[in-house]
Amino acid sequence: MRFSAVATLFWASLVAAQDPPYTGVIRSYDFTIKREMRAPDGYYKPVLLINGQFPAPLIEANWGDTIQVTVHNQITGPQEGTALHWHGILQKNNQWEDGVPGVSQCPIPPGGSFTYSFTADLYGTSWYHSHYSAQYAGGLIGPMIIHGPDTLKYDIGPILLTDWYHRDYNDIVKDVVGTDVTKIAPPSDSNLINGRNNFNCSAVATGDTASCKSNAGITNFRLSPGKLHRLRLINAGAEGQQKFSIDGHIMTVIANDFVPIIPYDTKAHSSLVVSLAIGQRTDVLVRGLDGATGAYIMRSSIASAPCSLSNNPDATAIVYYKHDALTAGTFNTTAWPEFKASVEGVCVNDDLSKTVPWYPITPDPNPPTTKVIDIDFQKNETGNFLWLMNNVSFRANYNQPILLLSNMGNNSYPDSPEWNVENFGSNSSVRIVINNNGAAGFSSHPIHLHGHNMFVLDVGTGSWDGSTVINPLNPQRRDVQILPANGYMVLQFTADNPGAWPLHCHIAWHVSAGLYVTVLERPDDIAKLQIPSVVAQTCRDWSAFTNMAVVDQIDSGL
Ligand SMILES: *[C@@H]1O[C@H](CO)[C@@H](O)[C@H](O)[C@H]1NC(C)=O
Ligand SMILES: *[C@@H]1O[C@H](CO)[C@@H](O)[C@H](O)[C@H]1NC(C)=O
Ligand SMILES: *[C@@H]1O[C@H](CO)[C@@H](O)[C@H](O)[C@H]1NC(C)=O
Ligand SMILES: *[C@@H]1O[C@H](CO)[C@@H](O)[C@H](O)[C@H]1NC(C)=O
Ligand SMILES: *[C@@H]1O[C@H](CO)[C@@H](O)[C@H](O)[C@H]1NC(C)=O
Ligand SMILES: *[C@@H]1O[C@H](CO)[C@@H](O)[C@H](O)[C@H]1NC(C)=O
Ligand SMILES: [Cu+2]
């Protein structure tokens, strides 16, 4: 799976060109999704699994390969539709493979199958997850690694950081979009590193009779002294912002999302930790301590309110050099208090001035359109709490995917304002200013744009001054950025990818409650896309299912 030295030289010469090489290699996967009892942290609950696994299997490919995933929806107890989204993949020329029900496809009905096929068009670290209601908070997540020219011998692989809830995601969603203000922001019960952590079963709520085993066990990773290791951090949780560190070790940040950046050490900056909001990935290099034989603690802490809410925010894993140290179970924790202090109450990504892409791209300094979108938080007429963007709380119609209607030349839906479509027509570049102020400003949001590595021109508290752009010749690009509480974010994208692209908060509970806009990009070119007939067939299959069964869509659907 790794590149040879010669191949690396060849590929490196192509890198700046952006477009992936064509390798002709197909990486095939066969995924069966089921709901079964599991106890990742010791507490038994129904978990959505792929091929029996939580977290779901690793997808691994080389840049330019074709990834082909056949998904069998065997979810029962109850039956549900599903769809898988390949986070961060651009899907240029495969826009219908983005996996968002009601936007790019109809859900895969219970008992049905669908084969996704797309190019590994960027390289680095990512993940995939269900985009159907809050299924991904119920376990339907997995890592995805695409090897590029930046390959390294000591690759520790994916490190998934996920908050974890003991209640079923459907029950949580009902509360989140409910009418009782005390229930709309549920705290997570636990925090996991690669799907494991120890949970203290004495702490379960009175009356909770679920079976639970304390000391379920944690993950461990072996490092080699003096060697440079690559760690691929992924926040694949539902709500919590993670602050990652390893006691006694300095980390060098080399990529954010699918974008390699000019490296910097966490130690050399104010923050000693790596901050990741939901959906974000950060690749770090860690040099094994010279001559080390001991064991150290790897930590990921959910940043406390106002960033996130958790009853057990601290996840741990072990980093060890010699097996004896692992079994002895004594750890050097000298450095932890200093790290802990830097974790609290900071709900932002590292400064944009620090995160400079390795391969520069300059955005249009005068984009032909700038759209201002306000975020609001309100009760609707029935008293349910909802999030709004541009004065609309999004709600999908699973039977009418926006991309497919657009492909048939229909870009106006007078009866469906809740699809929240922003039609940017044929604009060559689009700038969007998102304001998170007023009554809605109490929370920060990880804002995710599909189909692009967005330029992040500026973020901050208060309002944008209308002109400041950080690193205007080469601003940070990534696919998720934290929009601060009581703040703003300015993003821009080059309209090089015709499609219907979700722009949304990646907190499961917030997108469930409608914090979402559909960016419609170059509809004239969407009309020309040759969408395979199997996509329409999935809609007929879904329609046949919904003619027989009532789909209880309790949230936005995403
Ligand atoms: C587990 O929780 C119980 C009840 O809160 C407490 O008494 C006990 O000390 C905890 N055990 C550990 C190992 O933290
Ligand atoms: C523990 O780690 C610190 C650095 O974090 C180091 O200065 C100290 O020497 C270590 N102690 C032992 C006993 O290895
Ligand atoms: C308010 O929102 C809830 C939750 O999405 C929804 O079930 C309900 O139908 C909405 N009420 C109105 C009047 O639209
Ligand atoms: C927002 O929507 C509500 C209800 O649809 C409407 O009454 C109000 O005028 C809208 N506000 C703005 C600023 O568009
Ligand atoms: C476009 O689709 C919407 C939603 O199905 C429908 O209401 C509308 O009539 C359609 N427009 C045309 C011109 O077919
Ligand atoms: C550019 O986008 C704006 C919406 O922000 C839209 O009103 C306008 O028609 C678009 N221009 C073109 C040329 O499509
Ligand atoms: Cu949010």
Predicted confidence at residue 330, as pLDDT, reads 79
Ligand 5 contacts CB of residue 400 (under 6 A): yes
Predicted confidence at residue 84, as pLDDT, reads 98
What distance in Å separates the CA atoms of residue 441 and residue 446, rounded to the nearest whole number?
13
Predicted confidence at residue 269, as pLDDT, reads 56
pTM: 0.94
Predicted confidence at residue 344, as pLDDT, reads 62
Residue 368 CA, closest ligand 6 atom number: 1
Q: Helices (DSSP H) in 150-196: which residue ranges? A: 169-176
Q: Band the pLDDT of 550: cuts 50, 70, 90.
A: confident
* Residue 353, pLDDT above cutoff 90: yes
Q: Band the pLDDT of 13: cuts 50, 70, 90.
A: very low
Give the pLDDT mean for 13-35: 84
Residue 370 CA, closest ligand 6 atom number: 5
Predicted confidence at residue 3, as pLDDT, reads 41
Predicted confidence at residue 355, as pLDDT, reads 95
| Both tokens assigned to 189 | 């019960």
Smallest CA separation from ligand 2 atom 8, residue: 334
Ligand 2 test: best mutation among 334, 338, 340, most atoms within 8 Å of CB?
334
Domains and CATH numbers, the chain: 369-546 (2.60.40.420)
Give the pLDDT mean for 56-79: 97
What distance in Å separates the CA atoms of residue 6 and residue 21, rounded to the nearest whole number?
15
Give the pLDDT mean for 215-243: 96
Q: Band the pLDDT of 2: cuts 50, 70, 90.
A: very low
Ligand 1 contacts CB of residue 200 (under 6 A): yes
Q: What is the mean pLDDT of the chain?
A: 92
Ligand 2 contacts CB of residue 543 (under 6 A): no
| Both tokens assigned to 2 | 């790794």
Ligand 5 contacts CB of residue 411 (under 6 A): no
Q: What is the pLDDT of residues 402-429, one digit of tens each?
A: 999 999 999 999 999 999 999 999 999 9
Which residue is listed with tokens 């940070």? Answer: 476
Ligand 1 test: best mutation among 43, 200, 206, 312, most atoms within 8 Å of CB?
200
Give the pLDDT mean for 15-43: 90
Smallest CA separation from ligand 6 atom 9, residue: 425
Residue 426 CA, closest ligand 6 atom number: 14
* Residue 432, pLDDT above cutoff 90: yes
Predicted confidence at residue 335, as pLDDT, reads 63
Ligand 2 contacts CB of residue 335 (under 6 A): yes
Smallest CA separation from ligand 2 atom 10, residue: 332
Lowest mean pLDDT among 29-33, 338-342, 456-460: 338-342
Ligand 2 contacts CB of residue 58 (under 6 A): no
Smallest CA separation from ligand 3 atom 3, residue: 384
Predicted confidence at residue 40, as pLDDT, reads 97
The secondary structure element, H or E, covering residue 539 is helix 533-548
Residue 424 CA, closest ligand 6 atom number: 2
Provide the pairing of β-strand 242-246 with 295-302.
antiparallel
Q: What is the pLDDT of residues 161-175, one digit of tens each?
A: 999 999 999 999 999
Three-state SS for 201-251 is HHHCCCCCCCCECCCCCCCEEECCCCCEEEEEEEECCCCCCEEEEECCCCC
Q: Among residues of the chain, what percentage have pLDDT more than 70?
A: 94
Give the pLDDT mean for 169-192: 96
Give the pLDDT mean for 36-46: 96
Predicted confidence at residue 7, as pLDDT, reads 44
What distance in Å separates the CA atoms of residue 220 and residue 318, rounded to the nearest whole number?
4
Give the pLDDT mean for 39-52: 97
Predicted confidence at residue 342, as pLDDT, reads 64
Predicted confidence at residue 10, as pLDDT, reads 43
Selection from 252, 244, 266, 248 nearest residue 316 by Cα: 244
Q: Band the pLDDT of 339: cuts 50, 70, 90.
A: low
Give the pLDDT mean for 500-512: 98
The pocket around ligand 3, CB under 6 angstroms, is made up of 177, 380-382, 384, 386
Q: Band the pLDDT of 225: cuts 50, 70, 90.
A: very high
Residues 6+ positions from 136 with CB-CB distance below 8 Å: 129, 130, 236, 238, 508
* Residue 4, pLDDT above cutoff 70: no
CA 508 to chain centre: 10
Lowest mean pLDDT among 6-10, 85-89, 155-159, 502-506: 6-10
Give the pLDDT mean for 66-71: 98
Integer angstrom CA distances of residue 54 from 162, 192, 255: 11, 11, 26
Quote the DSSP letter at residue 188: B
Q: Band the pLDDT of 6: cuts 50, 70, 90.
A: very low
- The number of helix segments (H) and strand segments (E) in the chain equals 8, 30
Which burial class, exposed, middle or buried, applies to 415 when counting CB atoms under 10 A from its CB (0-12, 13-18, 19+)?
exposed
SS3 319: strand
Predicted confidence at residue 14, as pLDDT, reads 46
| Both tokens assigned to 9 | 């030289």
Give the pLDDT mean for 293-322: 91
SS3 347: coil
* Residue 208, pLDDT above cutoff 90: no
Predicted confidence at residue 341, as pLDDT, reads 66
Ligand nearest the Cα of residue 367 is 6
Q: Band the pLDDT of 343: cuts 50, 70, 90.
A: low
